[in-house]
């Protein structure tokens, strides 16, 4: 039996088979979970990518800035599962004007988009999924270390700092319902999203991380997310688990 045997998992954020979310879905299925995916915009592409999984899961449309999508999510999920045991939040976006060294000149409208999609959406998605979640449930978000200012990351770094704070407040409010909220802070990975960040270079990370780092290996990050959705971390919430080869703990 796998560590997610019999569990029902909602996975957001699949764009391609190089997405962190795709590998979370793949490993979750291998560990016994029933998976449902969400997509935004290019649903036909997400459905094609879903067919590359061991079992093709249903794909629901979800734009986390669309109130109707969020309000109907639980009912649409009930057509495929009778509850949820875990939710993966792998959603982030910032306009190009909010990245790449333009920090001092980014308009509020673009900052607001980055914060709504990358930060507030954790609360919005969690609230939308709550009607299907009971005791023992787990929310896991994908993070990037927000304790430092990264070259080119700019307002996305601010949004990630907000994500980290949001996860702690959710952990506080959902703890009495025995629902855990944690983040996985990955090192730089060569995903579709990463390519839009000016100056991205996962090779530098390998020289800092004591365990080394492979920017093309998404499996360690995905496995950590799956582990946090299992019953093996029953007393862990409000935590940020770093999956970065140990780079976050090293000095300059």
Q: Cα-flanking dihedrals φ and ψ of residue 206, to 5°? A: -60, -30
Q: Which residue has the tokens 């899961």?
A: 57
Q: What is the CA radius of gyration of the chain?
A: 17
Q: Is 93 a catalytic residue?
A: no
The helix (H) or strand (E) run that includes residue 89 is strand 84-89
Q: Is 160 a catalytic residue?
A: yes
HEC letters along 133-163: EEEEEEEEEEECCCCCCCCCCHHHHHHHHHH
| β-pair partners for 59 | 37
HEC letters along 168-191: HHHHHHHHHHCCEEEEEEECCCCC
Alpha-carbon distances, residue 78 vs 36, 58, 108, 132, 233 (angstroms): 11, 12, 38, 8, 27
Question: CA quadruple 193, 195, 200, 206: dihedral positive or negative?
Answer: positive
Q: Any residues with CB less than 8 A from the CB of 232 and at least 6 apart, and which?
A: 3
Active site residues: 153, 160
């Amino acid at each position: 039996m796998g560590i997610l045997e019999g569990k029902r998992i909602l996975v957001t954020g699949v764009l391609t088979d190089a997405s962190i979310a795709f590998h979370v879905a793949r490993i979750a299925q291998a560990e016994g979970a029933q998976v449902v995916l969400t997509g935004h915009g290019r649903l036909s592409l997400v459905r094609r990518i879903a067919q590359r999984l061991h079992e093709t899961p249903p794909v629901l449309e979800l734009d986390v800035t669309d109130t109707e999508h969020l309000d109907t999510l639980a009912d649409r999920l009930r057509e495929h599962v009778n509850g949820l045991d875990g939710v993966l939040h792998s959603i982030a976006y910032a306009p190009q004007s909010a990245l790449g060294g333009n920090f001092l000149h980014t308009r509020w409208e673009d900052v607001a988009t980055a914060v709504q999609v990358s930060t507030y959406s954790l609360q919005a998605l969690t609230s939308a999924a709550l009607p299907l979640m009971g005791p023992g449930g787990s929310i896991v978000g994908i993070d990037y270390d927000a304790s430092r200012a990264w070259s080119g990351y700019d307002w996305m770094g601010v949004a990630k700092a907000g994500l980290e704070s949001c996860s702690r407040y959710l952990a506080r409010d959902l703890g009495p319902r025995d629902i855990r909220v944690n983040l996985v802070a990955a090192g730089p990975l060569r995903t579709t999203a990463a390519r839009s960040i000016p100056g991205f270079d996962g090779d530098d990370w390998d020289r800092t991380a004591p365990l080394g780092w492979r920017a093309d290996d998404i499996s360690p990050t995905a496995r950590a997310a799956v582990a946090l959705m299992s019953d093996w971390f029953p007393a862990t919430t409000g935590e940020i688990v770093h999956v970065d080869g140990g780079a976050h703990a090293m000095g300059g």
